[in-house]
């Protein structure tokens, strides 16, 4: 086989470099200013940011995470500069496609070098805070969560867009699956619908025929769907994550599905209604817990997580009965209570004027739930033909 010598490599073509995004650039600058104030407050010389959540937040949606979960870049933040630390393998894509014109500097090393050596060089003789545990730095990851919980206007709009596309994908899958298909087949269909819209799935669950009752964290298996099925999806795009679930039944649902589903829906409506700006979560939880007690399942909440703040991560902070975090305005909450075979999930933005559901039912039956004096519309069970 004859071989020819290759010509010198050409620089990136103009169409490979994304156009400058002024809105994202302004957001990056504003967030850097927040971190500069934090550096002064804590007496730090710099911050080392390695988690995917902080990377997405400060870059307004770029990612430092590979498909297998490994990270390939970090950010080093001082009062004067924001610096990307990575290998020369990854810097072209980051700066051509994700960070063009955003004011980031670059420190890179050959891929053959240990990436830790570059990070350790940045820490030398400096007092540095870190978003994760890292030798030579002070872990302040818990404090940095506060920066991510309050979404910017751009992030809120993105949550609405991702919520609409995620909901459409889940509902379309629920309307078209066939009785007898396996959970894994249905998961494949749902994954396809998400990926073609650029939504990266981080949690998918296909729960057939009451699987939820015993396995709340089940993903999918080879078992066929015969009677009913719950589809759960949490996915993200451009740094913002949203979660949604829908339930279908082939034929009218029996009481073992309908009754738990109705209670779970009431729990969800209660959680959404009392997710009030300025309240501590434990105050909201007390209202939800009373519903569990009222309907004879006082310990059901112990069997599965109830919800979390979403944002640049699929779980910024888990809701627990003793969580005393104050609910900030413009935060993104996902409520997903479950009762036996009934599981529901929707995501809402919390504003001073009240909650805004970003995953409302689109082409799906709904049910109206009254909480105090307010009617909240939530998804019902979609009844499919038995054949």
pLDDT of residue 2: 83
Q: Kindly state whether residues 143 and 199 are assigned to the same domain.
A: no
The model's confidence at residue 16, banded by pLDDT at 50, 70 and 90, is low
pLDDT of residue 86: 97
If one counts the domains in the chain, the total is 2
Q: Kindly state whether residues 195 and 138 are assigned to the same domain.
A: no
Q: Kindly state whether residues 127 and 75 are assigned to the same domain.
A: yes
371 pLDDT exceeds 60? yes
CB under 8 Å to 345, separation ≥6 — which residues?
232, 243, 244, 245, 268, 334, 335, 336
pLDDT of residue 4: 84
248 pLDDT exceeds 80? yes
Domain membership flag for residue 4: no
pLDDT of residue 5: 85
Sort residue 372 into left (φ over 0), alpha (ψ -120 to 50) or beta: left
pLDDT single digits (tens) 304-328: 999 999 999 999 999 999 888 999 9
Q: In which residue are the tokens 């729960």 written?
A: 207
Average pLDDT, integer, range 221-248? 98
Q: Kindly state whether residues 117 and 159 are assigned to the same domain.
A: no
pLDDT of residue 13: 58
> How many Å apart are CA 28 and CA 104, to the nearest integer?
10
* Residue that terminates a domain, selected from 148, 172, 190: 148
Q: Kindly state whether residues 284 and 374 are assigned to the same domain.
A: yes
Of the candidate ranges 65-69, 132-136, 199-203, the one whose mean pLDDT is the lowest: 65-69
Residue 246 and residue 171 in contact, taking contact as beta carbons nearer than 8 Å: yes
> How many Å apart are CA 384 and CA 212, to the nearest integer?
20
Domain membership flag for residue 6: no
pLDDT of residue 6: 82
Domain membership flag for residue 7: no
19 pLDDT exceeds 90? no
pLDDT single digits (tens) 331-355: 999 999 999 999 999 999 999 999 9
Q: Kindly state whether residues 68 and 20 are assigned to the same domain.
A: yes
Q: CATH number for the domain including 232?
A: 3.90.230.10
Domain membership flag for residue 9: no
12 pLDDT exceeds 70? no
* Residue that terminates a domain, selected from 148, 177, 211: 148
Domain membership flag for residue 2: no
For the beta carbon of residue 297, count every other beta carbon within 10 angstroms.
17
pLDDT of residue 261: 98
Q: Kindly state whether residues 157 and 94 are assigned to the same domain.
A: no
The model's confidence at residue 15, banded by pLDDT at 50, 70 and 90, is low
pLDDT single digits (tens) 35-70: 999 999 999 999 999 999 999 999 999 999 998 989
CA atoms within 13 A on the CB side of 287: 18
Q: Kindly state whether residues 267 and 334 are assigned to the same domain.
A: yes
Closest by CA to 265, choosing from 241, 242, 295, 299, is 295
Q: Kindly state whether residues 250 and 140 are assigned to the same domain.
A: no
Average pLDDT, integer, range 196-225? 96
pLDDT single digits (tens) 135-186: 999 999 999 999 999 999 999 999 999 999 999 999 999 999 999 999 999 9
Domain membership flag for residue 32: yes
Q: CATH number for the domain including 93?
A: 3.40.350.10
Q: In which residue are the tokens 């009451």 written?
A: 210
Q: In which residue are the tokens 């703040």 written?
A: 309
Residue 276 sits at φ, ψ, to 5 deg, of: -110, 135
Closest by CA to 71, choosing from 55, 92, 88, is 55
Rounded to two decimals, the pTM is: 0.94
Domain membership flag for residue 69: yes
Q: Which two tokens stand for residue 272?
A: 């959404």
* Residue that terminates a domain, selected from 148, 178, 209: 148
Q: Kindly state whether residues 317 and 220 are assigned to the same domain.
A: yes
Q: Kindly state whether residues 200 and 141 are assigned to the same domain.
A: no
Residue 130 and residue 139 in contact, taking contact as beta carbons nearer than 8 Å: yes
Average pLDDT, integer, range 201-229? 96
Domain membership flag for residue 120: yes
- Domain ranges, residue 186: 153-384
Q: Kindly state whether residues 208 and 316 are assigned to the same domain.
A: yes
């Amino acid at each position: 086989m004859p071989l020819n010598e290759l010509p010198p490599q050409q620089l990136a073509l103009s169409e490979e470099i994304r156009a400058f995004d002024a809105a994202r650039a302004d957001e990056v600058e504003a967030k850097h200013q927040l971190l500069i104030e934090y550096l002064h407050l804590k007496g730090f010389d710099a911050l080392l940011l390695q988690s995917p959540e902080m990377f997405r937040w400060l870059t307004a949606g770029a990612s430092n995470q590979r498909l297998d979960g490994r990270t390939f870049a970090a950010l080093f933040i001082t009062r004067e500069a924001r610096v990307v630390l990575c290998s020369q393998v990854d810097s072209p894509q980051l700066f051509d496609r994700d960070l063009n014109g955003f004011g980031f500097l670059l420190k890179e090393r050959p891929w053959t070098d240990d990436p830790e050596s570059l990070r350790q060089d940045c820490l030398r003789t400096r007092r540095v805070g870190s978003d994760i545990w890292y030798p030579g730095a002070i872990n302040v990851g818990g404090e940095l969560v506060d920066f991510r919980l309050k979404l910017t206007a751009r992030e809120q709009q993105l949550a609405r867009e991702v919520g609409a596309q995620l909901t459409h994908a889940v509902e379309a899958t629920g309307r078209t699956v066939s009785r007898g298909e396996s959970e894994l087949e249905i998961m494949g269909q749902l994954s396809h619908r998400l990926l073609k819209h650029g939504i990266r799935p981080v949690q998918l669950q296909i729960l057939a025929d009451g699987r939820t009752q015993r396995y709340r964290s089940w993903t999918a298996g080879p078992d066929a769907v015969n009677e009913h099925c719950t589809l759960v999806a949490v996915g993200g795009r451009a740094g913002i994550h949203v979660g949604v679930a829908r339930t279908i039944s082939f034929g009218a649902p029996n009481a073992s599905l309908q009754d738990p589903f109705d209670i779970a829906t009431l729990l969800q409506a209660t959680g959404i209604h009392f997710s009030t700006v300025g309240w501590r979560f434990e105050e909201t939880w007390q209202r939800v817990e009373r519903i569990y007690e009222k309907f004879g399942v006082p310990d059901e909440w112990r069997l599965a997580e109830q919800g979390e703040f979403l944002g640049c991560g699929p779980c910024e902070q888990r809701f627990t009965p003793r969580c005393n975090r104050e609910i900030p305005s413009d935060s993104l909450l996902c409520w997903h209570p479950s009762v036996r075979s009934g599981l529901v999930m929707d995501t809402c933005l919390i504003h001073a004027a009240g909650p805004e559901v970003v995953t409302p039912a689109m082409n799906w039956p709904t049910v109206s739930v009254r909480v105090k004096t307010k009617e909240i519309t939530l998804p019902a069970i979609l009844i499919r033909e038995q054949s």
